[in-house]
Amino acid sequence: SLLYPYGPHQGDETNPKHDDGTSEAITLSIPFTFYGKTYKTVFVNNNGVISFNEPIRQYTPDPFPFVDGSPFVAPYWADVDNVLGGDIFFRQTTDPALLEDISQDISQYFPKSPFTATWALVVTWDHVAYYGSTSEKGNTFQAVLTTDSKMFYTILNYWDIQWTTGAASDGDAETGLGGTPAHAGFNSGDDTNFYNIPGSQTDAIINITTTSNVKVPGRWVFRVDDFQVTGVDPPQLNNNCWL
């Protein structure tokens, strides 16, 4: 599986069952550097966003950049409703086996920068439903923040994406499509530093399980301390994979 291990048996905490809900403030055991700034607190927001310093409850994604000083990682920002279905799990970990797997993956994708992870935050949205859903559709995706205390990376894993839009974002309650589709990417909080994964806020975002910047369909990996876009050319489809 693309997904790193998750769930209660891994010691994960679980977000409350609240529409537009969020975790409590999570104090990071190792501060995380994102776009040149270092943060000690994150929030896991039900609507597919990991934000620094303050929660984000907004359910319909807006185009980046947000210039309100709100830095965040958006693995799949859309109107999740975990009351209707699914769970959102998270944990900070220094588990040697997991860190070894993460280190091997990143070292493979970025061979010029040897990397040995010392910490990770693993956040997983497991078969989460969309607001207003009259279907059984669910999305499963994961975001990992990790560091060796010098370099800071984010891994985005997309395992099963069945819907793009909640009903309050003008989506169809039966299909979970249409309206304002989900957004995936990174926002620094200023007006110059941001990144949109190709297909964001278009119907094509449902195909994110087939796209990649590291030649692994469904996985996007970025160095985020000094944010670098690697392996992404202007969008052109080649072998069903963004290369």
Question: Encoding tokens for residue 179?
Answer: 């309206």
Beta strand extents in 107-182 (DSSP E only): 119-128, 139-147, 152-160
Q: Does residue 180 sit in helix, strand or coil?
A: coil
Going from the first residue of the chain to its last (243 residues), give the mean pLDDT of each consecutive group of 10, the final group possibly shorter.
Answer: 96 95 96 97 98 94 83 98 98 98 97 96 98 98 97 98 97 98 94 93 97 97 89 51 44
Residue 52, pLDDT score: 97
- In this prediction the pTM is 0.94
Compute the distance between CA of residue 226 and CA of residue 37 in angstroms, rounded to an integer.
9
Q: Does residue 80 sit in helix, strand or coil?
A: strand
The torsion defined by the Cα of 48, 50, 51 and 57, in degrees rounded to 10, comes to 30
Compute the distance between CA of residue 207 and CA of residue 228 in angstroms, rounded to an integer.
23
If you ran DSSP here, which 8-state letter would residue 218 be given?
T
If you ran DSSP here, which 8-state letter would residue 25 be given?
P
Compute the distance between CA of residue 120 and CA of residue 110 in angstroms, rounded to an integer.
18
Compute the distance between CA of residue 210 and CA of residue 195 in angstroms, rounded to an integer.
19
Residue 233, pLDDT score: 55
Residue 125, pLDDT score: 98
Residue 234, pLDDT score: 47
Q: Does residue 104 sit in helix, strand or coil?
A: helix
Compute the distance between CA of residue 183 and CA of residue 194 in angstroms, rounded to an integer.
12
Contact assessment for residue 119 and residue 139, using Cβ atoms and an 8 Å cutoff: no
Task: Please work out, in degrees rounded to the nearest 5, the angle formed at the alpha carbon of residue 185 by the alpha carbons of 242 and 3.
Answer: 70
Please report the sign of the dihedral spanned by the C-alpha atoms of residue 114, residue 117, residue 123, residue 124: positive
Compute the distance between CA of residue 34 and CA of residue 193 in angstroms, rounded to an integer.
11
Compute the distance between CA of residue 120 and CA of residue 93 in angstroms, rounded to an integer.
5
If you ran DSSP here, which 8-state letter would residue 41 be given?
E
Residue 191, pLDDT score: 84
